[in-house]
Structure 1
Amino acid sequence: MKDIYKLFMSYLMEHKDDPLSRDVVFNLPYQLLRSENGVSVLRKRGAFFSGDNLVDFLLRDVPIVKAGIYDPAAGCGDLLLRYLDKLELAASFRETMQEWESIVFAAELEPSFVKLLKLRIWLLLCLKYHVVTKLGELVIPDLKKRFAGVVCRDAFKYLPETMPTIVIMNPPFQQVDSKSIYSWGTGKVSYAAIFLYEMYKRFPKSRILAILPDVLRSGSRYEKLRTTVAPDLESAVRVYGRFDKKTDIDVFVLDHRPDMRQRVLRNVGRKQGRMICHDFDVHVGSVVPHRDTLKGRSCYFLTADNVPPGSNIIRVKEKTKSVHKPVKGPFVVLRRTSSPSDKIRCVSSIVSSSHDFHLDNHLIYLKPRGHKSELKLCQDVCKFFSSQECSDIVSRLIRCRHLTVRIIRNLTYKGGK
């Protein structure tokens, strides 16, 4: 990744007649980062800036106080700067700088990001106190020894000098190998999950403000993490939606206040009533094409391509062999791929015959639990799936591009009575 500090300094030198503005302080670094580095590079490094809209959403109803604040995944300081921007100023530039130096803590592994973060804090103060009018008038001091709490360190090996009142973070979202110490995750996990777990354990008395990928809130693979954290993590969760126009990932914001008495890392918006799991066994299709060996019993084979939405299926042309146990109709089929932008989140069909079927793993199926009128039960739940009420509930519960068994099992509907 290209040195963002050098790019930023070059811009200041080449635009000496331009005014020192909020755009230079807040927006220019991300513009330079985007223009000089491809999306794949940024994704690999987890280098995505928060932006005004998302930060305003995060900080809504959060009292801005002059107290220790720590960003363990600081990057170039986009999130941290927007918090500082809301602080009440002291009488002079020097006094405010001294105050900020005593309360601001940040950790970041990329040296150029750390250098730019310190510079941006200084530039923000210059902007607020109208120190200069043009970029060419800036006399940038040696900032190496200033803001000692802003360090080029691994966040998991750094502890601020004073316990922070607020931990604020937009951690990287990329997948990393889970270590054995994290009993809640195996294989590849989101780096954001590790940051959430570590910050919660390290700072139990701090208010934790975080921007996190929706999969942590709704994905089945993070259920153990939520079970581990949620009983003690008294938190508030609000769904935001897509990170920004250029980043196709949905996020939520977390505001953990130690004094709160609500547990909402679990499903939000769940109504009391009969859940789908009371009437159906819910599973993902067991056949993985191009990986499974063509052995076992030959049965009709259902895929996302040969199951038309809203259809009533008796048989299909395709067949396949599989060692997995087939599913006997009647049952309901759902497409796993589902986006919050879709008009209907749960696209369903009914397999009404009593034939045996193998199912592709891009499908979820609901098999009635010994109900006297299995076909009627399937029709009731499909009617619910096609409703706006269902789509609204699912969009609140999960913003990922794939539905999960856990989400479907726990939905409530009018049926099965």
Structure 2
Amino acid sequence: MLVQDVSRGSWNRVTEDVHHALNGEAAAKLRTLVPRQVRREAGSFFTSGGVRQSFEDLLSSHIDSSERLWFWDPTCGAGDLLLAATAHLPLGQSPAETLSLWGRRLRGQDLDDSFVGAARMRLLLTVLQRHRLEDSWAPLTERQQRNSFRHIQVGDGLEALHEAASSKRFYGHLLLNPPYGARTVGRECAWASGKTSQAAIFSSTAIDALKAGGRVVAILPDVLRSGSRYNAWRRRFEAHATVEEIAPYGLFDNHTDVDVFLISAKRKKGGHAGSVQWWPPRLANETSIGDLFHVRVGSVVDNRDPHTGIESPYLTARDLPADGEMPLPARTREFNGAKVTPPFVAIRRTSRPGQGAKGSFRGAGVLVVGNEAVAVDNHLIVASPKDGTIDKCRELIKVLGSQSSAQWLDERIRCRHLTVRVVKELPWPLEDGLF
């Protein structure tokens, strides 16, 4: 076994193996053993590569040696975030002394006992590797190895956070890369209902579990930062924590189709909301699309709304070209709800950061012209000019089809659906010559 070889001092033949064990091997094995769909449904991803380095950088920039250097990861997996934290822990005079020191300061839970075993092994390897680099290596007995890091345990991290919140709160650094899947919440959750991101639940409970002055450093899905559905989560978070830094990151890794951001925040004493810049602020006197257009989501929910009423042209995302202009759609539908009178601009709600549909820029719009009201599917966002002119719609098409607008959208929202609020906030260029 690798740990036993290193504990005996057999470094020459396993140095490379130790490096791999501490830098990405756990994540690679997870991808090999667990199908991607299963990992996605569970929302479980190991923190390796670039996102781990960004986490280490964020943690380092908001840590003070005068603070209580205790670290807790309630969803520790194979221990990547705890490994990042060990860079801030001092070494003892020997590996045995360091095990005792670190063992008191590191805490973690995971539901999978194999992950917990991997986390302990990797932390033990880190201790031995650092002592080797400091020329203070000494062998460890099998008993010392077995008894190392006993506070890294099999257990329900969310339950542990709830227990801490209701009793003696944790004062130290809470490290989080929680599950990203959804679960149903009940009446006990004041800021959400129905299916809600587990990451939102974990991070909100983590703030409750901290004493004033304790810090949470987390990797969270970007929908929490930028999605309209999580307005209440953001308000609650900023009411109880002073946000030190928010850093949008992008895709978690090349194997995980989830955009994330990193956040560092300190628990504060009071419960008063502060001022948090979750995204780039709107400049004073800046004109935006919402100043010039009525923006809303299409009214038709096709699989739910009955086919009754007047038959009308029916616009869906699949019938929309990449950009440009189109006449009234050929598809029709009976619909009694609100319709949209041309001219208007239709924008796909579903969009991926960095690209749009059919080769267009993200957020690209299509001008719809005609003389009949249109029933619009709810997978589309509609912008109707306040001045009622087709010229204003054509100006909007140019704004939405620009590189600067695509870049702004990627910085503002990295989840998979554009929102009415985001489209309204998109800046309207004022420089000469744009049109």
TM (norm. structure 1) is 0.86
Cα shift at 1:102:
1.8
- 1:384 matched to which residue of 2? 399
SS of residue paired to 2:318: coil
- 1:397 matched to which residue of 2? 412
- In the alignment, structure 2 segments of 5+ residues that lack a partner are 7-11, 134-138, 431-435
Number of aligned pairs? Answer: 399
1:245-394 matches, within 5 Å, as 245-257=254-266, 263-264=275-276, 266-272=278-284, 273-342=286-355, 344-369=361-386, 371=387, 373-394=388-409
How many Å separate the matches in 2 of 1:45 and 1:222?
20
- 2:122 matched to which residue of 1? 120
Confirm or deny: 8 A CA contact 2:207 2:267 kept in the other structure.
Answer: no
- 1:170 matched to which residue of 2? 177
- 1:406 matched to which residue of 2? 421
- 1:238 matched to which residue of 2? 247
How many Å separate the matches in 1 of 2:142 and 2:169?
28
Sequence identity (%): 28
SS of residue paired to 2:367: strand
Q: Residues 88 and 263 (structure 1 numbering): CA distance in 2 closer, same or farther, change over 3 Å?
A: farther
Q: Which residue, 23, 28, 37 being the options, matches 2:25?
A: 28
**Which whole-Å deviations, capped at 9, do the CAs of 1:155-208 have from their partners, x for residues lacking one?**
233257773321111001011112222222222111001011111122142121
Coordinate RMSD, CA, aligned: 3.0
Confirm or deny: 8 A CA contact 2:221 2:258 kept in the other structure.
Answer: yes
- In the alignment, structure 1 segments of 5+ residues that lack a partner are 1-5, 132-136
Cα shift at 1:268:
2.2
**Which whole-Å deviations, capped at 9, do the CAs of 1:358-379 have from their partners, x for residues lacking one?**
112221101233x2x5323322
Q: Residues 381 and 233 (structure 1 numbering): CA distance in 2 closer, same or farther, change over 3 Å?
A: farther
SS of residue paired to 1:167: strand
Cα shift at 1:230:
2.6
Counterpart residue identity of residue 49, structure 2: D
Cα shift at 1:125:
1.1
Counterpart residue identity of residue 92, structure 2: A
**Which whole-Å deviations, capped at 9, do the CAs of 1:94-114 have from their partners, x for residues lacking one?**
222122112111122222222
Deviates more, 1:381-390 or 1:190-199: 381-390
Confirm or deny: 8 A CA contact 1:269 1:393 kept in the other structure.
Answer: no
How many Å separate the matches in 2 of 1:297 and 1:228?
45
- 1:134 matched to which residue of 2? none
How many Å separate the matches in 2 of 1:363 and 1:69?
45
- 2:132 matched to which residue of 1? 130
How many Å separate the matches in 1 of 2:253 and 2:313?
42
How many Å separate the matches in 2 of 1:139 and 1:289?
67
Confirm or deny: 8 A CA contact 2:301 2:378 kept in the other structure.
Answer: yes
Q: Residues 45 and 350 (structure 1 numbering): CA distance in 2 closer, same or farther, change over 3 Å?
A: closer
Cα shift at 1:400:
1.5
SS of residue paired to 2:346: strand
1:8-27 matches, within 5 Å, as 18-19=14-15, 20-27=17-24
- 1:52 matched to which residue of 2? 49
Counterpart residue identity of residue 93, structure 1: P
Counterpart residue identity of residue 62, structure 1: H
How many Å separate the matches in 1 of 2:401 and 2:307?
35
- 1:190 matched to which residue of 2? 197
Cα shift at 1:244:
0.6
Cα shift at 1:401:
2.0
**Which whole-Å deviations, capped at 9, do the CAs of 1:298-350 have from their partners, x for residues lacking one?**
11111223222332233221111112221111211101122122161211011
Confirm or deny: 8 A CA contact 2:217 2:265 kept in the other structure.
Answer: yes
TM (norm. structure 2) is 0.83
Cα shift at 1:143:
5.5
How many Å separate the matches in 2 of 1:256 and 1:267?
16
How many Å separate the matches in 2 of 1:305 and 1:102?
58
Higher helix fraction (1 or 2): 2
Confirm or deny: 8 A CA contact 1:328 1:355 kept in the other structure.
Answer: yes
How many Å separate the matches in 2 of 1:355 and 1:326?
10
How many Å separate the matches in 2 of 1:83 and 1:52?
16
Cα shift at 1:395:
0.3
Q: Residues 384 and 271 (structure 1 numbering): CA distance in 2 closer, same or farther, change over 3 Å?
A: farther
How many Å separate the matches in 2 of 1:183 and 1:344?
38
How many Å separate the matches in 2 of 1:153 and 1:64?
30
Counterpart residue identity of residue 179, structure 1: G
Confirm or deny: 8 A CA contact 1:226 1:265 kept in the other structure.
Answer: no
Q: Which residue, 221, 226, 229 being the options, matches 1:213?
A: 221
How many Å separate the matches in 1 of 2:326 and 2:41?
43
Counterpart residue identity of residue 275, structure 1: S
How many Å separate the matches in 1 of 2:293 and 2:104?
58
Deviates more, 1:35-44 or 1:397-406: 35-44
Cα shift at 1:82:
2.2
Confirm or deny: 8 A CA contact 1:237 1:253 kept in the other structure.
Answer: yes
